[in-house]
Structure 1
C-alpha cells in the first residue's frame, strides 16, 4: 500500500541510464555510506521448484538486494505505508495498477529467532530462509506485494522522507530498479516443434529456348502434359485440353514474334521497318528523304490568250479522261502518266515561238558559255518578256521544225534583267517594210549555254534561221491529283490515338517549286536559274497531301518538333512500299484532332524515278482543276524531265546516318572555319586565320572561288558560318591573292624529235589545264593551294617527262615583275614561296598576261 504523497514521487523516476556502469561507479567509491539497489529477485514459489514452501504466496515476494547494506531501518514498511513503492510498467500512475506494497522488512529480521509482527507468517519466514542465502541476508530487503502483477515491466522504488527522490545515503539513479514478475514463469501452453518436412523436389522440365514458333511450342506443351498427366491420352482437336494447349502455343508464338520484332527494331543496324530506320536516323540529326517528284518545263502553243491555272494536268497519251484514269491507277503507274503545272500563267500567241536573230550572218553560232542572244519580234505582237521569265532555246531541223531538230540542243534559260529593244535597219533594206524589232535578252549565269547553239545556217545565198525561243513555258512536276478521298478510318475516335492509313500507296513527294529573286537568295529559299529548277532537293520535299476536318486544313510536316499545340500539322510516314500512315500531334507538340470529326483527303499520286520521262513525251492536255478544258492549246515537253528520285534506300541510311552525327556543326579553330567555307560547291579551297582587331578577335576566311566570285557567295558563306561561329568571334571574308609567276625555260630536244609536236606537249605540261590523258598541268589550280611553294625541280621534272626532251635549263623563275636580283635568288634557292593568303598562278593566257606566263624556247630536234 502507499500513503499520501506517494503518487507525486513517482513522477521523478529516472530512466535511460546505464545501471551496470552506475553500479560499478558506486561500488568503486570510497564513501561507505553510499548505497543503492543491485537487483530485485522475484521469489516465484512454484510447486516444481526445490525451494517451494507450502502456504507462502506465489510471485508476490520480492528480494531487493542492495550493493553494500545493511538495510536501513527507515525502509521498513508496514500496513500504514512506507518508503517502498511499485510502479506499473506500462502505467506510470500507480493508481491504475493494483500492485501495491503490503510490507517491507529486512531479510535478517524475517529469519531471526525473534518473532515478527503480523501479517508475516511462518511460511514467509521459511520461504525467505530457503531462497535467500545467509551470507547476503544483511543487505536484502524483503517486500511483499498485494498482487503478482502482469507480464509488463515494473519499477521498484525506494523513497526518502516525505516522498523524497531517494532515502538518505542512496544513489538517486540506483534507488529504483525495473523488474518483471514473470521472469521465470513457464509458458501457459507448450507447443512442440513439428518435425521438418523436406521439400518435394519435382523434376525440372527440360526447356528448349529455341522452340518459339507455334508447332514447336505445341509439341513441347503436349510432351510436358504427358509427364504431368500420364493418364490423359486424348489428342483429339476437339478435346478441351488440346484446345487450351493450342491456344497457349498460339499466344506464345505471337509473344515470341513481338519480342523479336521489338528487339529487331531497337537498333539502326537491324531495323527492318522504314519508319524505325527514319526515327533512328532522326536521333542522329540525319534526315531520310522519301524520294522526289520529277520536274520539267512544258511549252504551250495557243491560238488565243488564255489563263492556265496551277494544277493543270498534262499526260502521256491519256485521252480526254486521262486525269480520272490516272488517278485510278496505282501510284507507280500514275507516276509515268501525269504532270501538273506549278504556277498560273497567261498564255499568249505572241510567245508561241520567237526566232533568234542572226543580224544577217549566214552561219551564226552562240558559243559555249553564252549568256545573251537577240530575238526578232513583229511590230504588232509584243511578247511582253520580263525579267524572271523562262525561255527554251531550241535548234530547228532541216525542215524548219522542232520535230526533226536535235533534241539535245535545247536549253532553258531564265532572264535576269529586262530585255532591251533594238532595231535592225538592214533587215528591211530594199523591201520598204518597217525596220525589224530586235530584243536583246540576257539570262542567269548558271544558265550559260553548255553547247554551241546554231542560230542560222546558209542555204544558197540566203541565211536561214535555225533556232527559236519558246516563251510559253511553265514548270510542272510529276503527280496526279486525287480529290474527295478519305483515310482509313475516316472518323477520329473518341478514345485512343488516331493513326489512319491511306487507301493507296505512291503519294508524291515534291520540293517547293517557288522561284527565287534574281538578286540572290539564301540557299533553300527558291530556284534562281532555269537549270536549278530541274534539280529539286529531295531533303526539302514534303508529301503532296492535305486533310480537311471541316474546320481547318491539316498540312504535312517532316516532324512535329517545332509545332505548337494549335498547329494543324500531320506527319506522313511510309511504313513499307504499300502502307502509308498519318501521325497527328498529341496536344503538346502539334494539334490533336477533335474526336468525332471526319477527315477528307486530297493528295497526289506519283513521284520517284518513274517521272524522268523523255523529250516530247507529255503531249496530251488532260484539263485544268475542276475539269476545265482548254480549247486551241497544245503542249509538249521540249526538255526531258529531271530530278525524279526514289525513296532513299535503308542500306544507304544505315551507312550515312552515323557519319552525319560525326559532322562538325560548330566552328572553334581556324581549320573549322576553313573546312566549313570550303564545303560550299562554289569554293575551290579556303584558309582561315585568327587576328586581333584591337577590341576582339576575328576569323579572316580567305576563299579561292572556283569561278567568278560575287557578293552573293560571301553572303551565303556568312549566313552559313554565322550559325556555327564561336560567340564573340566575328567572321571576315576576302578573296585569295593570286600571285603571277614568270617562267623562262630553254628545252633541248634529241635528234629525230619533231619540234612542233614536242613544243605543243611542253606547253600542255606547263599549263594550268587538264591534259588529254587526264593528268593535270603543272600550274593547275588543284596543284597550287594557299601557301604552296613552287619548286624548280618539279618544273624541270615536268618538262623532262615530255618524250624527246633531253635537257632543260631555267633562265627565269620568279614572281611577275621581279628584277634580275630576285630572279637569281629564286633560282639559287630552287623554290618560290607564298604566304598563307597567296596562291601562285601561271595560266599562260595571252589575253591575260597579268596571270603569269611561260616563256618557252625549244631547240634542237627536227
Structure 2
C-alpha cells in the first residue's frame, strides 16, 4: 500500500474496483505466534510467477534486512474466496512497523522500480508489525491523522428492572447509535430483536431479585426457600398429613375372598344411585371433587375377608346385664363354627329365672351326671375331635383371628330400647390383638375365642353386652355390642400415575482414544427438577412415633393410628427409572407394574426404585433418594441428588411416578361416611361386599403456613432442649417426648468414682411399677441427648410405704361399715366408683410430693357420712415417727413416691388403720 500521507475511513470502493479490473493487491498481513511466518491475503488470485525473490521486507530499527526463506501459495477452491500466501522469514522483527512489498525482477534478477504490471500501485505493498499482539505503549505519532468524532456518552438508566423499562432503554440507545433506523412497527425484525433482548434482561433481573429476596428467611416468599432456611436450624416446615381411619367390610355370598389392595378404593357417597360395589369405569364421568377417595394402607399382597368376621358376637358365659368394663384388655368372642351336638341356634335366648316368659325357650339343661350322662359325652367326644380336625385343616373355618389383627367394637342397638337408631355412636373403639386362644365352653359346647389386646388400646369406656329393656316388656336384650373383624386401615388419597420427562443433556464430552484408553463419549445431564401434574400430593405419617414405639405393643396399637405426627410425614410417592431405550420392553413393563402395585424393588436389570426422603443430608453418592418440595400452588417439584448427596440421574434416563393425591383436613370425614367399594380391574362376581367406617377419619392436618415457620424457626434453639447438660434436662426431655407414657420424671447426678452417673426415675401412667421394656425404651431415647461423660440409668420410682392411721367419727344416720368401705376406696391405690384416681393412685402422686395431713383430711371428709377426721399416725412404714404430725407433712425425696396399697397379702407396701366411732 502506498505511503502517501492520506488516511481514509473506508476504501471499500477501490478494493471492489481492483477485483473487477482483474488486478491484484495485498488485502491484509497476519503474523503467526512464532513470528517467523507471514500470512498474506490477496485481493483475488495470487500471481503464478510469485516467489521468494519477489518478496521484499523493508523497515525495522534494531532488526533490519529480514530475509525471505520460502513462499507457499494456498489457492482457494471457491471463486468468491481470496488466495493466501505463507511467507517464511529468517528471524522475527522488532516492535517497529515493517513493509512487505511485491517487486518484479528483470532477466538479471535486478528489482524493477514501481509495482508489477498486474498489481495496483496502492496495494502492491502493505505495512505490518511482528509484535501486533504484544502489549506496548502507542506512539502518538502513529495515531490516525483523522480521528473519528467523539461520541457523547450515553446516559443509561440503571433503574430499569422490568420488560417495559429495558425495551425503552434499548430503543433510546439505538436512537443514538443508529439514528437512521426509525422503524417502530412490531413486525420489524429490529423491534423483534429489541423485545427479545428486553425479555432476556427482564428474566435476568427477576433472577437477581429472587436470589437477593429468597436468600434470607425474613424476606423469602417461596415455600421451598422458607423450608430450606428452616431446615438449616433443624426446624422442619411440615406439609400436612392425610387422614386415616378403620374400614369395616362385610362379606356375603362366599366364605372367604382375597382382593389386591391396589385394585380397590373406597369412596364417600357418590352422586346418583350406585350399588356398594362399583366398577371404576362406571364412575369415570363423575368429577373427582364430588367425592373423596380412601385407599388401603396395608403393605401386603392381598386383603382377606371372611364372612364369619362380619359381625362377631361377644360371649358372656350366659350372664345377664353384662358389659366390658372400662380399661379392659381382653374379651371372649363367639366362634360361629357349629360345635358337634350343639343346638341349631348359636346360643339360647335369655329368660328371667324369676319371671319366665312363655314365648321364650327354656335354658338347655346341663349334661346329666351319672352313667347316662357319661355315655352321652363319650358318644359326642369322637365327633367333636373329628370336627376340630376338619376345622384345623379348613383355612376358611371359624374366625381365623391371629395376633396383629384389628377388631372394631361397636354398639349396634340401644341398651334400653333394642333399636339400632338408639345406639350410642360414641361407643366405638378399635383394638389390636396380642393373643388369640381357641376354646370351647364345656357346659354348652359353644366354640369360643379368647382374645387380648394392647394395653394402649384399653377400653376408654364400658361396652354394654346385654341388658333388660324398658317397661312394660322388660325383655332381655343381647348383642348390644358386636365386633367387626374384617377391618383394614385406610388413608385419604387417590392413586395416579405419571410419566415424567426424560433427563435432558446439557453437553457432550468426548475423549480421543490412545494405546491405553479407548475413546469415550459422556453425556452430561442437566439438573433434573420435574414437576408433578396433580396438586395436593398425599403425605402419610408413620404408623408410630418414638413415643408410641415405647408402648407395650411397640407402636402397633390401633390407637396410635389416630395420632399421626405431620412433622414426620413423608410423601406417598414412588419413582421407577429406566434407561431411555428400554421403557417399551415387555419385561420392563411388568416390572414397572410391580413397582406401582407393591413398591418393591424391581428384580430385573433395568428399572430402579427411588424413595422420598425429607432431605439428602444423609444420602450417599449411590443412594436412590429424592426430595419433594411443595410450592404455594400445591404443586410438587422433585429434587434429586448431585452425585455426592444422593445419586444424580443419568442423561436420557426416564422416570415414572406413582403417587397419591389428597391431603389435609378435608379427609377428616365423619363416621359411616364410606359407602362404596370401587374396583379398578378384577370385579368379584357372585359375592356382595359392603364397607363402612365406624370411627371418623382423623389425622388430616393442613400444611404449616410460611408465616409460622418464619416465626418459630429462629426461636427453636431457645425453646427446644436438644442436649442434656444438667440432670434436670434428662427428666424434662423424658416428659416432653413421652407425654402419654411418663407422668413425671426426676433425675439426680451421682459420682461413681470414675464417671458421673445420671439416674432417671420414671413415674409412668396407670401403674406404680413400669415394665422393664418401657424403661429400656426410655433409656434408648435419652441416649440421643446424653452428654459425654455421663452414664445413664433409667429406673422406676422409689416407693415409700406409708403407715397411716385415722380416727373417724361417723355422722348419725349412716352405716359405719359402708362409710368404712368408701373410706378405704377413697384412700386406696385404685380408681373409685366414678373411675377417678383415688388418693394413693399412682397417677395422683408425683416425685418429691410429700403427703400432707390437710389433703388426707380433705379426702376423708369428701366421703358421705364422715363427720370428723383425725390423723393419729403418719410415718414411713417400719421407721417410726419423725415429727411428721407436728409438721403436718411427710416429706419425700426427689426420686421417691408415696405408696399405700392396703394389700393384706403384701403389708410391706403400706398400711391403713381406721378407727370408727359412731356419732350420737
The equivalent of 2:716 in structure 1 is 660
1:703 counterpart residue number: 762
Is structure 2 residue 730 aligned with structure 1 residue 673? yes
Of stretches 394-403 and 489-498 in structure 1, the one that deviates more from structure 2 is: 394-403
Q: CA deviation at 1:717?
A: 0.9
Of 568, 579, 585, 1:540 maps to: 568
Partner SS, residue 716 of structure 1: helix
Which of 338, 341, 365 lines up with 2:294 in the alignment?
A: 338
Q: Distance in 1 between matches of 2:543 and 2:686?
A: 24
Please, which runs of 5 or more residues in structure 2 have no aligned partner? Answer: 1-138, 142-149, 339-396, 507-524, 579-605
Whole-Å separation in 2 of the counterparts to 1:212 and 1:601: 39
Is 1:478 aligned with 2:434?
no
How big is the alpha-carbon RMSD for the aligned residues of Structure 1 and Structure 2? 5.3
Query: Separation in 2 of the partners of 1:351 and 1:750?
Result: 56
Residue from 820, 832, 839 that aligns with 2:890: 832
> Are 2:802 and 2:876, in contact at CA under 8 Å, matched by a contact in 1?
yes
- Classify the secondary structure of the residue corresponding to 1:363: coil
Is 2:420 the partner of 1:468? Answer: no
1:350 aligned residue: 308
1:447 to 457, 480, 485: 457
Q: Is this contact kept in 2: 1:572–1:582, CA < 8 A?
A: yes
Query: Per-residue CA shift, 1:103-144, capped at 9, x if unaligned?
Result: xxxxxxxxxxxxxxxxxxxxxxxxxxxxxxxxxxxxxxxxxx
Aligned to 2:630: 574
Q: Within the alignment, does 1:408 sit opposite 2:394 as a pair? A: no
Work out whether 1:314 is the aligned partner of 2:266: yes
Change (3 A) 1:450 1:357: same
Change (3 A) 1:801 1:826: same
Question: SS at 1:594's partner residue?
Answer: coil
Query: For the residues of structure 1 that align with 2:526 and 2:174, how far apart are their CA atoms?
Result: 41
Q: How many residues align?
A: 640
Partner SS for 1:313: strand
**Deviation at 1:490?**
4.4
The match for 2:777 is 716
Shift in Å, 1:232: 12
Cα contact 2:743–2:765 (8 A) shared by 1: yes
Q: Could you say what secondary structure the match of 2:435 adopts? A: coil
Q: Determine if contact 1:742/1:853 at 8 Å carries over to the other structure.
A: yes
Contact 2:628 2:638 in 1 (8 A): yes
2:83 corresponds to which residue? none
Write the deviation string for residues 233-278 of structure 1: whole angstroms up to 9, x where unpaired.
Answer: 9997779999999888767765554444333322223322111121
Corresponding residue SS for 1:374:
strand
Per-residue deviation, 1:501: 0.7
Q: Does the CA-based 8 Å contact 1:315-1:322 persist in structure 2?
A: no
Pairs within 5 Å for 1:70-89: none
| Cα shift readout 1:413-445 (whole Å, capped 9, x = no counterpart) | 1111122413052x4xxxxxxx22222222111
Following superposition, the deviation at residue 374 of structure 1 comes to: 1.5
* TM-score (norm. length: structure 1): 0.62
Structure 2 SS opposite 1:450: coil
Given that 1:335 and 1:606 are in contact with CA atoms closer than 8 Å, whether structure 2 keeps it comes out as no
1:389 aligns with 2:448: no
Give, in angstroms, the shift of residue 588 of structure 1.
2.0
Q: Distance in 2 between matches of 1:565 and 1:329?
A: 46
Q: Sort the Cα spacing of 1:655 and 1:764 in 2 relative to 1 into closer, same or farther, 3 A.
A: farther
Matches within 5 A, 1:804-815: 811-815=872-876
The CA deviation string for residues 199-250 of structure 1, in whole angstroms up to 9 with x for no partner, is x9x99989896x8566778899999999x99x99999777999999988876
Distance 1:326 1:854 in 2: 74
Shift of 1:851: 5.4
CA distance in 1, matches of 2:867, 2:449: 59
Helix, strand or coil: the match of 2:734? Answer: helix
2:436–2:449 CA contact under 8 A, matched in 1:
no
Question: Is the alpha carbon distance of 1:735 and 1:527 closer, same or farther for their aligned partners in structure 2, counting shifts above 3 Å?
Answer: closer
Shift in Å at residue 714 of structure 1? Answer: 0.8
Match of 1:736 in 2: 797
Partner Cα separation in structure 1 for residue 442 and residue 468 of structure 2 = 19
Aligned to 1:107: none
Counting only pairs closer than 5 Å after superposition, residues 581-596 of structure 1 correspond to structure 2 as 581-596=637-652
Partner of 1:116: none
CA distance in 1, matches of 2:686, 2:626: 35
SS of equivalent to 2:456: helix
Q: Is the 8 A contact 1:340 1:480 kept in 2?
A: no
* Secondary structure of residue in 2 paired with 1:601: strand
- What secondary structure sits across from 1:671 in the alignment? helix
Q: What residue in structure 1 maps to residue 531 of structure 2? A: 501
Structure 1 alignment gaps of length 5 or more: 1-188, 192-199, 428-434
User: How big is the shift at 1:505?
Assistant: 0.7
Superposed counterparts of 1:90-129, under 5 Å: none
Name the SS for the 1:416 alignment partner: strand
User: Does the CA contact (< 8 Å) of 2:503 and 2:526 recur in 1?
Assistant: no
Q: Contact 1:563–1:569 (CA<8 Å) still a contact in 2?
A: yes
Deviations 1:658-688 (A, max 9, x none): 3433433333332222222333221122222
The 1:326/1:674 distance shift into structure 2, 3 A limit, reads farther
CA distance in 2, matches of 1:252, 1:554: 38
Residue 603 of structure 1 corresponds to 659
Over 3 Å counting, the alpha-carbon distance change for 1:308 and 1:271 in structure 2 is same
Q: Distance in 1 between matches of 2:550 and 2:327?
A: 25
Say yes or no: does 1:456 pair with 2:514: no
Question: Who is 2:119 aligned against?
Answer: none
1:796, 1:462 → 2: CA distance?
A: 45
CA shift at 1:524, angstroms?
A: 13
**CA 1:421 to 1:628, structure 2 compared with 1: closer, same or farther past 3 Å?**
closer
Q: Map 1:414-453 onto structure 2 (within 5 A).
A: 414-423=432-441, 425=443, 427=444, 435-453=445-463
The secondary structure found in structure 1 opposite 2:238 is coil
Q: Which of the pair has more CA radius of gyration?
A: 1
SS in 1 for 2:728: helix
- 2:782 counterpart SS class: helix
- Cα 1:833–1:534, aligned 2, differ >3 Å: closer, same or farther? closer
Contact 2:268/2:291, CA 8 A, preserved across alignment: no
1:528 maps to what in 2? 556
Q: Is the 8 A contact 1:507 1:607 kept in 2?
A: yes
Q: Distance in 1 between matches of 2:829 and 2:205?
A: 67
Residue 356 of structure 1, CA deviation? 0.8
In structure 1, the partner of 2:747 is 688
Question: How many angstroms does 1:371 deviate by?
Answer: 1.4
Report the alpha carbon displacement of residue 454 of structure 1 after superposing the two structures with TM. Answer: 0.8
Separation in 1, partners of 2:838, 2:482: 40
Q: How far apart, CA to CA, are the structure 1 residues paired with 2:496 and 2:790?
A: 53
Q: Secondary structure at the match of 1:677?
A: helix
Question: Partner of 2:785: helix, strand, or coil?
Answer: coil
Change (3 A) 1:833 1:314: same
User: Counterpart of 1:96?
Assistant: none
